[in-house]
A and B are shown apart, each in its own frame.
Chain A
Amino acid sequence: MPDSELHRSAKPILAIKGVGKRFSMGDQIVEALRDISLTIRKGEFVCLIGASGCGKSTLLRIIAGFETVTSGTVEMYGTPITGPGPERGMVFQDYALFPWLTVRQNIGFGPRQHGLPKEKLDQIAARYMDMVGLTKFSDYYPSQLSGGMKQRVAIARVLANDCEVLLMDEPFGALDALTREKLQQELLEIWERTKVTVIFVTHSVEEAVVLSDRVVVMTAGPGRIEHDGRIPLARPREVSAIDFNQVRRDITQRLTSHLTNSVTAVV
C-alpha cells in the first residue's frame, strides 16, 4: 500500500471546520482567516505554505490553543480545543527555550510538571537527547548552543512531553542552508520513528515538497485555503530529480497565480 493511501485510511486527529479569525488592530479590524476547513489525519506530515500575511501562523497558533477563533470550531479527536496542551507541541522559529535551564532540564520541563521522580525525568531526557543527538551537550545552556542545536532541543522538549501533534512555525527559517537541510532530514527520521503528526508552516516551496505528505497553499487578504493536495513523490526525495522539480513548479504556480491574478485585476 503506498504511503499516501495509508495516511488516507488513518483516522482524523484534527478537524478544523469553518474557522474565521478577526483581530482588532487599533480601531481597525483585520480579517486574518476566513472559512478555513481542514482535516488532518494521524501521522500525516502537512505543510502550510503561503506568502506572509496569509494567516498560516495564526492558524497554527489557533491549533496550539494560543489564539481563539472568531467563528468555526477546531477539534482534536472530536473534543474542542480550548487552550494550549501537552498533546499539541509548538516549535517556535526563535526556539523559546528556557535560557536558565540546561539542555537536559529544558527537555525534562514538560515531564517534570507531572511530578515524576528525578530518575524517571533523567531517563526521559536521556532518551530524547539521544534521539536528537545532543547527549554530549546535556549540561549546556541554550546560550552555548548553535541555532540548529537549539531547535533540536525545542523538538525534543515537546516530544518528551508525549505530544501527538508537532506544530512547527517556520522552525528552520533562521538557520543557514546546510543546517536547515540537515535538520529537515533529522525531522523526517524522527517523524518516521515516532509516527507523530506534523503541521509545518513554511514559506519555502522546496522545504514543503521535501518534507510533506500534503501541502496546503494559503493566500492572503483574508487568509484562506487556495489549494490542498498530496505530494505524489516517493521518499526519500531528491531535490534535483525531474519529478521533484515538476511538483515544485506546480506548487509555486499555485502560490503565485493568486498574486498575478490580483495584479492583472488592478491593472
Chain B
Amino acid sequence: MTRTTSRLVDVAKTLVVPIVFVLAWHAAVKLTGTRLIPAPREVAVMLWDFTFGGVYDDAFSKTIAVHFWASVKRVYAGFFLAAAVGVPLGLMIGRVKLIRELVDPTLQLLRPVPVTAWLPLSMIFFGLGPNAAIFLVFLGAFYPIVLNTTFGVRSVDGKLFEAATMLGCSGSSLFRQVVLPASLPSIFNGLRLGHGFSWILIVVGEMTGVPEGLGAVIMDGRMLSRADLVISGMIIIGLAGFLSDRVIVAINNRLLAWSPQHRA
C-alpha cells in the first residue's frame, strides 16, 4: 500500500464513528417524530445560514464571524493571562521553598472549588460583560498550568543539577539552561489541559449576559427554543477547540522533539 492510500484509509477510519452517529441521530429524530431536537439536515441548514445567510435572514444569519471572534478573543485573553501568571508562579513554587510554603496550601484549598461556582462572584467583581467571562477562563486554565509547571520543576532529575553545576553552570543560568527545558514537557501538558478548559469555560462565562460570543448564541438558542442554533454553537466550539488544540500539539512536538515519550 502506498503512503497516500494508507493515509486515506486512516482518514476513513476516523470518519466511521461520526458518520454512524449522524445517521443514528437522523433515524432517531425521524422515528420518534420529536420536534424538540432538529435532524442533522436542519442543523446543517442552520450552520449555512449562520455562516453565509440567505435562508432565514434573522438576527443570527451571517453572524458567525462576530460571535466566533468575540469568543476567541476572550478564550485567548483568559488563557494567555493564565499562562503568564501560572507558568512563572509554578516555576517559583517548584524552585523556591519559601514561596511553595506560602502559596501552595492556599492553592490546594481553592482548587477543589469548581470554577463554575465562581460565576456569581465574578459577575459581582467584573459586572455583566466580557471581563467576567475572561476571569472564568483564566481561573479554569490557571490551575492545570500552575500545578503541572510545579510538578515539572519538582521532578527534574537531581543528577542533571549535579551534572550542570559540575560543568560550571550555576545561579540564573541553571534555571534557564536546566530547570526550564527539563520541565518543558510538564509545562506543555499543563498548557494543553488549561487550553481545553478555556474552551469549556467560555460557554459558562458567556452566559453572563454578553450580547456576542458562541456561549451567548447557545444561551439565546435555549431561550428561543431553537435547538438548531444550540447545536450549531456546540459544533463550532467543538471545532474551534479541536483545531486550536492541534496548533498547541504541533508547537509541542516541535519544541519537544528530543523527548519521544512526550510527543502527542
> Within the assembled complex, what's the spacing in Å between the Cα atoms of A258 and B200?
68
Is B159 a contact of A94 with CB atoms below 8 Å? Answer: yes
Which residues of A, 61-103, contact B by the 8 Å Cβ criterion?
64-66, 83-86, 88-90, 92, 94, 96-102
Is B259 a contact of A157 with CB atoms below 8 Å? Answer: no
Task: Identify which of A65, A66, A84, A157 gathers the most chain B CB atoms within 10 Å of its CB.
Answer: A84
> Within the assembled complex, what's the spacing in Å between the Cα atoms of A83 and B168?
11
Which chain A residue lies CB-closest to B261?
A143
> Within the assembled complex, what's the spacing in Å between the Cα atoms of A141 and B261?
13
Is B162 a contact of A90 with CB atoms below 8 Å? Answer: yes
The reply on B173 being an interface residue by CB < 8 A is: yes
- Given contacts A84-B162, A141-B257, A143-B258, whether A100 and B184 have CB atoms under 8 Å apart is yes
> Within the assembled complex, what's the spacing in Å between the Cα atoms of A142 and B163?
15
Which residues of B, 238-264, contact A by the 8 Å Cβ criterion?
256-260
The reply on A202 being an interface residue by CB < 8 A is: no
> Within the assembled complex, what's the spacing in Å between the Cα atoms of A65 and B166?
8
Q: Which residues of A contact B160 (CB under 8 A)?
A: 96, 98
Q: Count of A residues near B, CB < 8 Å?
A: 29
Q: Which residues of B contact A89 (CB under 8 A)?
A: 166-167
The reply on A18 being an interface residue by CB < 8 A is: no
Is B257 a contact of A110 with CB atoms below 8 Å? Answer: no
The reply on B157 being an interface residue by CB < 8 A is: yes
> Within the assembled complex, what's the spacing in Å between the Cα atoms of A122 and B166?
21
> Within the assembled complex, what's the spacing in Å between the Cα atoms of A64 and B178?
20
> Within the assembled complex, what's the spacing in Å between the Cα atoms of A8 and B184?
50
Which chain A residue lies CB-closest to B168?
A113
Which residues of A, 129-144, contact B by the 8 Å Cβ criterion?
141-143
- Given contacts A100-B181, A100-B184, whether A143 and B163 have CB atoms under 8 Å apart is no
Is A64 a contact of B168 with CB atoms below 8 Å? Answer: no
Which residues of A, 180-211, contact B by the 8 Å Cβ criterion?
none
Is A96 a contact of B163 with CB atoms below 8 Å? Answer: yes
Question: B259 to nearest A CB, angstroms?
Answer: 6
Seen from chain B, the residues whose Cβ lies within 8 Å of a Cβ on chain A are 157, 159-160, 162-169, 173, 177-178, 181-182, 184, 256-260
The reply on A158 being an interface residue by CB < 8 A is: yes
- Given contacts A96-B162, A98-B178, whether A141 and B258 have CB atoms under 8 Å apart is yes
Is A143 a contact of B181 with CB atoms below 8 Å? Answer: no
Q: Which residues of B contact A96 (CB under 8 A)?
A: 157, 159-160, 162-163
Q: Of B166, B177, B182, B260, which is within 8 A of A88 by CB?
A: B166
> Within the assembled complex, what's the spacing in Å between the Cα atoms of A94 and B163?
12
Is B181 a contact of A110 with CB atoms below 8 Å? Answer: no
Question: B235 to nearest A CB, angstroms?
Answer: 39
Is B165 a contact of A98 with CB atoms below 8 Å? Answer: no
Which chain B residue lies CB-closest to A90?
B166
Shortest 6 CB-CB contacts between residues of A and residues of B: A110-B167, A96-B159, A113-B168, A84-B166, A141-B258, A100-B181
> Within the assembled complex, what's the spacing in Å between the Cα atoms of A74 and B239?
65
Is B258 a contact of A99 with CB atoms below 8 Å? Answer: yes
Q: Of A65, A141, A158, which is within 8 A of B167 by CB?
A: A158
The reply on A118 being an interface residue by CB < 8 A is: no
Which residues of A, 104-149, contact B by the 8 Å Cβ criterion?
109-110, 113-114, 141-143
- Interface SS of B by simple majority: helix
9 A-B residue pairings within 8 Å (CB atoms): A66-B162, A84-B162, A89-B167, A96-B162, A98-B181, A110-B168, A141-B257, A143-B258, A158-B167
Which chain A residue lies CB-closest to B180?
A100
The reply on A161 being an interface residue by CB < 8 A is: yes
Is A92 a contact of B169 with CB atoms below 8 Å? Answer: no
Question: B179 to nearest A CB, angstroms?
Answer: 12
Is B181 a contact of A161 with CB atoms below 8 Å? Answer: no
Q: Of A83, A84, A86, A143, which is within 8 A of B259 by CB?
A: A143
> Within the assembled complex, what's the spacing in Å between the Cα atoms of A170 and B168?
23
Q: Of A98, A100, A114, which is within 8 A of B168 by CB?
A: A114
> Within the assembled complex, what's the spacing in Å between the Cα atoms of A255 and B173?
44
Which chain A residue lies CB-closest to B178?
A98
Is A161 a contact of B168 with CB atoms below 8 Å? Answer: yes
Q: Of A86, A101, A142, A143, which is within 8 A of B166 by CB?
A: A86
> Within the assembled complex, what's the spacing in Å between the Cα atoms of A99 and B156?
11
Which chain B residue lies CB-closest to A141?
B258
> Within the assembled complex, what's the spacing in Å between the Cα atoms of A102 and B259?
11
Q: Which residues of A contact B178 (CB under 8 A)?
A: 98
Chain A 48-72 near chain B by CB (<8 Å), digits 1 or 0: 0000000000000000111000000
> Within the assembled complex, what's the spacing in Å between the Cα atoms of A85 and B160?
14
Is A64 a contact of B258 with CB atoms below 8 Å? Answer: no
Is A109 a contact of B181 with CB atoms below 8 Å? Answer: no
Q: Of A97, A113, A141, which is within 8 A of B173 by CB?
A: A113
Which chain B residue lies CB-closest to A96?
B159
- Given contacts A96-B157, A99-B259, A100-B259, whether A84 and B181 have CB atoms under 8 Å apart is no
Q: Which residues of B contact A88 (CB under 8 A)?
A: 166
- Given contacts A94-B159, A100-B182, whether A85 and B258 have CB atoms under 8 Å apart is no
